[in-house]
Structure formats: structure tokens, C-alpha cells
Structure 1
């Protein structure tokens, strides 16, 4: 597919993103199959700043000796995700898009102060049993080399006859051998705190009233916070040379609340895990984390 590259510099303000989200609440009724947007949004040089990494680390639980968090570049690119989802070329309202899964791959070591070229584009439609899914690609380059990438799967529920390849990318995981390793207490303002470092001010995360407007009884935690917190609990000190993280988001986590991290027996630099409710009988996220360290 041929994309039209658009340089986004400077990045949009929070107010602009919110306004674009409001304007995208309604879209014309779609006639026929959806068309994949052709824009490739680019930020030419985004710094992995020490201050930004520290703020993200405090919110998710990373320590400085762990180096650049594997999930951190996602939050730098997330405003570009919002821009794609709220543009007139995107066929569905951005509100109500559900984050189903994320796949992250780091190809080279990332360092504080390093500048990344971020590219974000809609990669492909996916036919999901619950509606129309969309994969958004994020690619990060340094000195011309691909150093980090992610693919984020979003779902528009209740779309009849979805197009694209059938969804078959659920993360297989043997859950019988998992044991509880940590318990997390999540404060009521967690959604607002994570919004400040991620740029994701979706009202389902930041407001009880906003959450109720979209059918939730309370605000819910960001899926990418849950992934970040799980990686923070497992990322080794010294930083990562290469790494992969795969996760499927399951049930929402209501705020305030308590959840637990469950792990499979350790097998070298590989972790299979779930985040479950405190009783341990309902999954909120399923994940796999593999790395090589210095």
C-alpha cells in the first residue's frame, strides 16, 4: 500500500487532541467496506528524555537501573495513534475503539538522550469475531536503522461482515502452572496519572462520569499501564539489548482496585504471565516477555 507521509512537528497539544476526539464522535454512516487510511504520520526526532522516562517509570514502577522501559516508546507515539483514529479518513468514531492486543519488538539497545524517528500508520484490517479490528503499526528508527516496533490491535465492536484476514493471533499460554507473585493496589487517580505521561486522556480512564457514558460503572485502568506495570515487575536491571513483549487485553480493571501478577516457572530470560483479579479466577491481561540483557 502506498502511504502519504506527513511530518507532525510540533506535535499536537492535549487540547487539540481532545477537540479532535470530540469532533470524531460522529462519522457518516459507512456504505460498503471500510477503506484503510493512507496517511503515515511521522515525528522526525523524538528524544528519549531522562525526565520523560523517569515520570513514566514512577507511574508504572520501573527503576532507573532497568534502563529504558521496553514499553516507553509506545507512549511517545500514542498521540499519532489518536491523530489517525480521529481523522476524517478513518471510517469509525474513535470513541469506543477497544485496545485488544499489543506486540512489541526491540531490535537494538535504547539509551537516554537518543533521538528516534517515529512512524505510525494503519497497517491492515482484521476480521474479528466481535467486529472490525485494525492493526496500527509504530516503527522507531535511529540513524536509519529500525530499533523498535509495535503493532497495536484495536476493535470496533458490532460491525457486520468485517473485512481483512481472520483474527487468529491470540497469545497461547498454559495457565495451569501459573502462581501469584505480586499484588498491586491501584488508586482511584491512576488513570489521570497515567494520562499525564501517555497522552491518553480517554474519559473512560480519567473520569467516573466519562466511564459511565461508555458503559463502565467506574473508570478503568489503561491497558498500556497494565502492560508497563507487568514489564516493570520483570525487566532485569542493566537495560535490554533486544526484547519482545506480546500481550492480549482481557477484562477491564476498575479503579480503585487490586489485582495480582501471576507467573509461570522461570525459564531463563523468558516470562509467561497474567494479570488477574485478586481472587485469581479472572484474567485482565495475558502476556509473554522475552529478552536479552547486557
Structure 2
């Protein structure tokens, strides 16, 4: 597909993103199949700033000796995701889009102070049983080499006759030997606190009233906070050279609340895990985390 590159420098302000989101609350009824947006949004030099990394680490529970968190570049790219979803050419309202899954791959070690070129574009439509899904690609380059990438899947519910490749089966999980290894107590203001770090001020995360407008009885935790917290609990010290994380988001986590990390008590650079309610009978997120151990 031929994309039209648009350089986004400086980054959009939070006020501008909020205004764009409000304008995109209503879209005309789509007549026929949706067209994939052709814009490729580019930030030419985004710093992995020590202050930004530290704020994200505090929000998710990473320790400094773990290096740059594997999930951190998603935060830098998220404003470009919002810009794509709120453009007039995008066929659906941005509000109400549900984050279904994320796939992250890191190809080289990331360093504080490093500048990345970020490229974000709509990659493909996906036909999901519950509606129309869209994969948004993020590619991060350092010194002209691909160092980090992700694919984020978003769902628009209740769309008839969705187009694209069929939604594939979710991540498998070996249930035998799965143990509850951590409990997380989540405060009522977690969504507001993470919004200040991530830039995701979706009202379903930041207020009870906003959440109820979209059918939730209380505010719910950000999916990317849940992934970050799970990775913080498992990412080894010393930083990562090559790694990948896959996750499928399932039931929402209501705030305040408590959840638990369930995984296998194994050694080595591979983790299959779920974030569940404390009793263990309701899954909130399923994940796979794999890294290449350093040879140093």
C-alpha cells in the first residue's frame, strides 16, 4: 500500500488531541466497506528522556536497573495513534474503540537519551466476530536501523460485515502449574495518574461518569498500564537487548480493585502469564514475554 508521509514536529499538544477527539465523537454513517487511511505519521527525533522513563517506571513499577522498559516506546507513539483515529478520513468515531491486543518486538538495546524516529500507520483491517478491528503499526528507528516495533489491534464493536483477514485465535496458555505470584491493589485514581504519563485521557479510564457513558459501572484501568505492570514484575535487571511481548486484553479491571499476576514458576527467558482477579477465575489480560539473555 502507498502511504502519504506526514512529518509531525513538534508533537501535538494534549489540548489539541482532546479537541480532535471531541470533533471525532460523531462520524457520518459509513456507506459500504471502510477505506484504510493512507497517512504515515512520522516524528523524526523523539528522545528517550530520563525524566519520561522515570515517570513511566514509577507508574508501572519498573526499577532503574531494568533499563528502558520494553513497553515504553508505545507511550511516545500513542499521540500519533490518536491522530490517526481522530482524523476526518478515519471512518469510525475514536471514542469507543477498544484496545484488543498488542505485539511488541525489540531488536536492539534502547538507551536513555537515545533519539528515535517514530513511524505510525494503519496497517490492515481485521474481521473480528464482534465488529471491525484495525491494526496500527508503530516502527521505531535508531541510526536508520529498526530497533523497536509494535502492532496494536483496536476494535469498533457492532460493525456488520467486517472486512480484512479473520481474527486469529488468541494466545494459548498452559494452565498446569500456573500459580498466583503477586497481588496488586489498584487505587481509584490509577487511571488519572497513568493518563498523565501516557497521554491517554480516554474518559473510560479517568472518571466514573465518563466510564458510564460507555457502559462501564466504574472507571477501568488502561490496558497498557496492565501490560507495563506485568512486564515490570518479570523483566530482568540489566536491560534488554532483544525481546518481545504479546498480550490479549480480556475483561476490564474496575477501579478501585485488586488483581493478581499468575504465571509459571520457571527460570529462563520465557514467561507465559495472565493477570486475573484475585480468586483466579476471571482473566483480564493474557501475555507472553520472551527475551534473549545477554552474552556479556
TM (norm. structure 2) is 0.98
Structure 2 partner of 1:188: 188
Structure 2 partner of 1:222: 222
CA distance in 2, matches of 1:201, 1:176: 38
User: Higher mean Cα deviation, 171-180 or 139-148?
Assistant: 171-180
Structure 1 partner of 2:259: 259
CA distance in 2, matches of 1:128, 1:176: 29
CA distance in 2, matches of 1:209, 1:289: 35
- Quote how far apart the aligned CAs of 1:267 are: 4.2
Write the deviation string for residues 88-133 of structure 1: whole angstroms up to 9, x where unpaired. Answer: 1110000110000000000000000000000000000000011100
CA distance in 2, matches of 1:10, 1:211: 31
Q: Secondary structure at the match of 1:268?
A: coil
Gaps of at least 5 residues in structure 2 are: none
- Quote how far apart the aligned CAs of 1:265 are: 3.2
Q: Secondary structure at the match of 2:292?
A: strand
Structure 2 partner of 1:56: 56
CA distance in 2, matches of 1:20, 1:91: 14
Gaps of at least 5 residues in structure 1 are: none
Write the deviation string for residues 215-256 of structure 1: whole angstroms up to 9, x where unpaired. Answer: 111000000000000000000000000000000000000001
- Quote how far apart the aligned CAs of 1:293 are: 3.7
Aligned 8 A contact 1:239 1:293 in 2: no
Structure 2 partner of 1:9: 9
In the alignment of these two chains, the number of paired residues is: 294
Structure 2 partner of 1:154: 154
Matches within 5 A, 1:11-50: 11-50=11-50
Structure 2 partner of 1:83: 83
CA distance in 2, matches of 1:48, 1:160: 41
TM (norm. structure 1) is 0.99
CA distance in 1, matches of 2:147, 2:114: 11
CA distance in 1, matches of 2:45, 2:105: 20
